[in-house]
Amino acid sequence: MNIAVLASGTGSNFAKLISHQDGYHIYALLCNNPSAHAINHAKNAGIRVFCPVRGDGRAVKLADFERLALDFLAGLDVDLLVLAGFMRVLSADFLAKAPPAINLHPSLLPVYKGLNTHARVLAAGDRAHGASVHWVNSELDGGQIIAQISTHVRAHDTVPSLSARVASLEHRLLPWVLTQMAMGRVPNGMVFDGDHSDFSERAV
Ligand code: GRF
């Protein structure tokens, strides 16, 4: 299974996808932010980078990014787009023309779509938090859920502690989902207990 990853920033999940690469092959990184650290991960791994910029070196507008990305993808044999920290909402028109796309999001969707999920979980006094991988549609964080991983919110959790714990869960979840998909076993909304189980061994 050939994938292209879309990322806008740090790219810690992208780095995990590079080191895991079990059953899937990363064809390219598509990036809308020329300063993104994700670009360094791609270059170090010899993965081609698509990151269009304007004449002054700044990022292009989303509509231009989408148009250029479709041209770029047309020359590649990509089965799936993987959004891992891609911080823009792709248009319905782009999604209709591009390969299918999945996204990683730091909440137990459908709750807490959008930004600042850790702070919102703490403010609400929720007892559970986690991460989701879902199909992408043109609604923000709105597509069908593929798999989730949860963690208990602890009494002394802060935004940094929760953020670090959810990030480590994401680093396990997304590569596992991709390996499953590469084997033709698309998970159907299963939820793993990230505090207790080694889900990669238990899961079918
Ligand atoms: C992750 O929390 C992901 O769920 C969200 O953006 C973050 C990306 O982190 N969509 P990184 O750039 O992979 O470190």
**pLDDT tens, residue by residue, 66-100:** 999 999 999 899 999 999 999 999 999 999 999 99
- What is the rounded radius of gyration, in angstroms, for the C-alpha atoms of the chain? 17
Nearest to 135 by CA among 63, 194, 200, 82: 82
Measured CA to CA, the distance from residue 68 to residue 65 in angstroms comes to 5
Mean pLDDT of the chain: 95
**Does ligand 1 come within 6 angstroms of the Cβ of 172?**
no
> If we measure between CA atoms, which residue out of 197, 143, 137, 127 comes closest to residue 169?
197
Q: How far is 83 from 100, CA to CA, in rounded Å? A: 11
103, pLDDT greater than 80: yes
Helix, strand, or coil here: 160?
helix
Locate the ligand 1 atom nearest the alpha carbon of residue 10 and give its number.
12
Q: For ligand 1, pick from 5, 6, 12, 13 the residue to mutate: most ligand atoms within 8 Å of CB.
A: 13
Q: Give me the mean pLDDT over the 114-130 stretch.
A: 98
Express each pLDDT in 131-173 by its tens digit: 999 999 989 999 999 999 999 999 999 999 999 999 999 999 9
Which pair of structure tokens corresponds to residue 78? 């990509």
Pocket lining: 9 vs ligand 1, CB cutoff 6 Å: yes
> Which atom of ligand 1 is closest in space to residue 83's alpha carbon?
10
Instruction: Please work out whether the CB of residue 174 comes within 6 Å of at least one atom of ligand 1.
Output: no
| 86 Cα nearest atom in ligand 1 | 10
Q: Whose CA is nearest to atom 14 of ligand 1?
A: 12
Cα angle value 87/91/93 (rounded, 5°) = 150
Q: Are 136 and 83 in contact (CB under 8 A)?
A: yes
| Ligand 1 midpoint to CA 13 (Å) | 6
Ligand 1 atom 8: the closest Cα is on which residue?
Answer: 85
What are 8's two structure tokens?
A: 């806008």
CB 169 within 8 A of CB 196: no
Q: What is the DSSP string of 94-121?
A: HHHHSPPEEEEESSSTTSS-SS-HHHHH
Asked if residue 201 has pLDDT above 60, the reply is no
pLDDT (average), residues 15-34: 97
Q: What angle do CA 32, 36, 109 make, to 5 degrees?
A: 70
- Is the pTM higher than 0.85? The answer reads yes
pLDDT of residue 54: 95
